[in-house]
Each structure stands twice: as structure tokens, then as C-alpha cells.
Chain A
Amino acid sequence: AQSVAQPEDQVNVAEGNPLTVKCTYSVSGNPYLFWYVQYPNRGLQFLLKYITGDNLVKGSYGFEAEFNKSQTSFHLKKPSALVSDSALYFCAVWTSGAGSYQLTFGKGTKLSVIP
């Protein structure tokens, strides 16, 4: 069965510093990987995805993620954090096949950017 792990419940970073939010996955076959962001009392917003191609994926709001097949990781990064980046971030993997289709989420990482 597919699974996604976000090893850090919370990440604190100073404004202007680079940030990384970690994600590892376990899935048979080629993964379709996603990052979503959730602001307080809001739904989830799509940030970026990896389907195939370049291992470095660029997304919304200056975020990027690096797909590493050997380490089964898909870490989210941003060169310079903003206070407005403070939110809950979810990594997810999409799998389909054998009549089953689903997006499996990690438990989320709370990012706090400190002014």
C-alpha cells in the first residue's frame, strides 16, 4: 500500500532564511507527487506536482520541490521564507490501478516563519 511520511510535525524558520519541509513516500510504480498548503480555516491549495521529467519542480508562491527517486523523497523548498508562508503543508501521492484510485496524504507539517 502507498504511504507518505512527513517526519516533522513543525518547522520553524526565520524570515528571509531558506526553508525545507520534508516528505518521503512509499509506492509501487511511478509516483505522482503533490504538495498542498492550508491556511487557517481554509481548504487546501495546490502548490506543485511531480509527474515525470525534471527532478526539480517549480510551483506557486516561489516554492519548489526536488524529486529524489533513490531516496524516495520529495522535499519542499523555498530560498527565502516569508511570514505569510506560515501554514500547514501536506505532501501527497496519487496512485491508480487495479480499480483503485486515491490521493494519500501525509499528516502535515506546520511551518512557522518568525519575523
Chain B
Amino acid sequence: NAGVTQTPKFQVLKTGQSMTLQCAQDMNHEYMSWYRQDPGMGLRLIHYSVGAGITDQGEVPNGYNVSRSTTEDFPLRLLSAAPSQTSVYFCASWGRGEQYFGPGTRLTVT
């Protein structure tokens, strides 16, 4: 199993640009989530999904959209990038009583 994969690893955007961070898992987990990690803030939940077609907001959802058309994929869309969205983004899936994390995407918005 590849586990949880994320692309790209690094991305630089200009303010106002949009992009999609990709996340996929091959463990057939129903629950998936997106976090952002900022220094001194820990990980904060952006959005999550409990299954295909079902998504919900986490702690910091503004400026981000998600969709879940399949069990495997859970992309995160930045609609109009802002410097405040400079962060490291982690995708995760939940199964067998624990959460599995992807390697992260480091995003810089200039």
C-alpha cells in the first residue's frame, strides 16, 4: 500500500491565483481530512469528509473548498490564494483506530 499520497510537495503561488492540492489513499478509509500546520499553532483542521459525497468544515475552512467524489481522493482547492495561506498542508485518513498522514505540501503565497 502507498498509504496517503500528496502532490505537489512544494508550490509557490502569487496572490489571487487558484490551485488544487491533491490527496489520495489506497486503504479504503471512509474518513479523510486536511490540516494546515503553522509554527506555534500545531495542526488545525480545515475540512474533513466521512465518506464519498459528504464533507464538512473544520476549524479554519475559509478560503478553501473540498469535494469527495470517490473514497480514494480528497482534493483541497484554494480559490484565491492569500499570503495568510502560506503553510504546510497535510492530508490524512482515518482507519483501524488511528490517523495516517501524507508527507505534506509546502505552499508559499507571495
**CB-based contact A49/B98 at 8 Å:** yes
In the assembly, what is the distance between CA of A51 and CA of B31, in Å?
A: 18
* Chain B contacts with A in 73-99, Cβ cutoff 8 A: 90, 92, 94, 97-99
**CB-based contact B101/A44 at 8 Å:** yes
Report B's interface with A, CB cutoff 8 A.
31, 33, 35, 40-45, 48, 50, 56, 58-59, 90, 92, 94, 97-104
* Chain A contacts with B in 87-105, Cβ cutoff 8 A: 90, 94, 99-105
Contacts of A102 in B (CB 8 A): 33, 45, 48, 58-59
Residue from A34, A36, A49, A103 within 8 A of B45 (CB atoms): A103
Contacts of A94 in B (CB 8 A): 99
Given contacts A102-B48, A105-B43, A106-B42, contact A43 B58 (CB under 8 A): no
Q: How many A-B residue pairs have CB under 8 A?
A: 50
Contacts of A107 in B (CB 8 A): 40-42
**CB-based contact B99/A103 at 8 Å:** yes
In the assembly, what is the distance between CA of A32 and CA of B58, in Å?
A: 18
**CB-based contact B90/A43 at 8 Å:** yes
In the assembly, what is the distance between CA of A106 and CA of B45, in Å?
A: 12
**CB-based contact A51/B104 at 8 Å:** no
* Chain A contacts with B in 23-61, Cβ cutoff 8 A: 32, 34, 36, 42-46, 49, 51
Contacts of B59 in A (CB 8 A): 102
In the assembly, what is the distance between CA of A37 and CA of B43, in Å?
A: 12
Given contacts A44-B90, A49-B98, A108-B42, contact A101 B48 (CB under 8 A): yes
In the assembly, what is the distance between CA of A99 and CA of B44, in Å?
A: 19
In the assembly, what is the distance between CA of A100 and CA of B33, in Å?
A: 12
Q: Could you show 14 A-B contacts with beta carbons less than 8 Å apart?
A: A34-B98, A42-B104, A43-B101, A44-B43, A46-B100, A51-B97, A100-B56, A102-B45, A102-B48, A103-B45, A105-B35, A105-B42, A105-B43, A107-B42
Contacts of A90 in B (CB 8 A): 42-43
Q: Which residue of A lies closest to B54 (CB)?
A: A99
In the assembly, what is the distance between CA of A105 and CA of B38, in Å?
A: 12
